Amino acid sequence: MKATKDPLPETAEPRSRDADRSQLAILASARDEFAQRGLAGARMDSIAARAGLNKRLIYYYFGSKDDLFLAVLERTYADIREAEQQLHLDEIDPVEAIRQLVSFTWHYYLEHPEFITLLNSENLHCAAHLKRSERIQEMNSPLVQLLDTVLERGKRDKLFRAGVDPVQLYISIASLCYFYLSNNHTLSAVFGRDLRAPKAMAQRLSHMTDLVLGYVLH
Amino acid sequence: MKATKDPLPETAEPRSRDADRSQLAILASARDEFAQRGLAGARMDSIAARAGLNKRLIYYYFGSKDDLFLAVLERTYADIREAEQQLHLDEIDPVEAIRQLVSFTWHYYLEHPEFITLLNSENLHCAAHLKRSERIQEMNSPLVQLLDTVLERGKRDKLFRAGVDPVQLYISIASLCYFYLSNNHTLSAVFGRDLRAPKAMAQRLSHMTDLVLGYVLH
DNA sequence: GCGTTAATTCACCAAATGGTTAAATTCGCG
DNA sequence: CGCGAATTTAACCATTTGGTGAATTAACGC
């Protein structure tokens, strides 16, 4: 599912026509184009070219630019929700669970920069696409529930403070990771130092973990 | 300097030609247009119409769309730096200083939504405009220095923990405020609850303050 | 083989877009 | 007043853009 396009038919199926394959190719190239240039900046011709398909196919399968953008968004959310499934916060001790959640969020955003720019584009448009989505319920993260039980366990063990709202904490963890990466370019420019340098990146993860743990602990 | 355009010449100067006034009008309408639609989505015709001026004037004074965008960015940074000057973190006790910093950041973003979307646009473009800015040095926030002294005082008073990087903390405070507002639309859609409701907003400020204080306080 | 349907291509368009050429108008100043 | 420079306007343009109508081609069941 990565952005790298491989035109070579690896499987021994030299089918020249394949609706599914075409749709996936369009979705992948649309995701890259939208992520790179934003909704308004993205070019339908460019998406078709990236996918190596005729532009008309995009309209045949997805209807319009906005519909395509929504499809990309839904796919993007599905991807992160799937990745979150791999996390098993309920099987480890509360402190470690918090650590893992911060680390997971950080690394997911890091490895999926398109997630950030796509969400920024959607927010610029006041989530107009997402609001018309029928699959919007499925996008609610299961991590919030899980985080809630983690906080409960930590509280029971007399480790965590009481009164922590799991939604607020979830948003805060996302904030800390997201903003640093989303605004990396302007921050680096303004501070005149490379916040993407390995050392700075490691410091950031450490700082975020300390910040969150410093809050929930005690 | 607010977005509200008032075509009535309030001062008793009915000059029909005024280069400064025209430039300011363009800058203001450009800021609104860019903030609302992003760089690619913004229309030069629309900016001219908002300003009530001929489109050619934009090119006469600012050269190109990208140059205009940079001018807007520089102005936007100048505005927030000016607002930050009003804060006097060195005159109050460390804990209160942290509180004020969080509160200020929160309210500034809240009252200047264009700040968020403009920065998002610039980051989508990898800060390409800002990097060519000659005034980029002036954009470094004085708050980082100030925050450093606050942290030092807190440490001296045996209130704050040691080893807190002021840049990291400054970014974290910005993160917590920025992300919640920037991604409000998608978050509200996904969580199915209105994060803009007054109660939710108050909770957020309280949560962010607790989070930051819980960390710095020993 | 054959025909029906789905997948794909081709050629095309009206509207919009950033930008420009050149003329017109106003203002400050001697 | 009058003139030169600054400011503003009108008209225009080449290109790009999202989107379509209709023809074409390949796959699949019979």
The mean pLDDT value for A62-76 works out to 98
Residue of B nearest to A138 (CA): B190
A142: Cα within 13 Å, side-chain hemisphere: 13
The mean pLDDT value for A21-34 works out to 98
CA at A56, C1' at C11: how many angstroms apart?
Answer: 12
| Chain A partners within 8 Å of B145 (Cβ) | none
Q: Give the containing element (helix H, strand E) for B178.
A: helix B166-182
Question: Under an 8 A CB cutoff, do A179 and B175 touch?
Answer: yes
CB B120 within 8 A of CB B185: no
Task: Report angle CA B186, B32, B184 to the nearest 5 degrees.
Answer: 15
Spell out the per-residue pLDDT of chain B, length 218, in tens. Answer: 333 333 333 333 334 789 999 999 999 999 999 999 999 999 999 999 999 999 999 999 999 999 999 999 999 999 999 999 999 999 999 999 999 999 999 999 999 999 999 999 999 999 999 999 999 888 888 999 999 999 999 999 999 999 999 999 999 999 999 999 999 999 999 999 999 999 999 999 999 999 999 999 97
CA at B129, C1' at C21: how many angstroms apart?
Answer: 28
Give the bases of strand C that a protein CB approaches within 7 Å.
6-11, 16-22, 26-28
Q: What is the sign, positive or negative, of the torsion defined by CA atoms of B153, B159, B165, B171?
A: negative
**pLDDT digit string (tens) for A133-180?**
999 888 888 999 999 999 999 999 999 999 999 999 999 999 999 999
Please give the single-letter amino acid code of residue B116: I
Give the bases of strand D that a protein CB approaches within 7 Å.
6-11, 16-22, 26-28
Residue A161 tokens, joined: 């403070």
CB A125 within 8 A of CB B184: no
Residue of A nearest to B41 (CA): A40
- The closest alpha carbon to B178, from A179, A204, A187, A124, belongs to A179
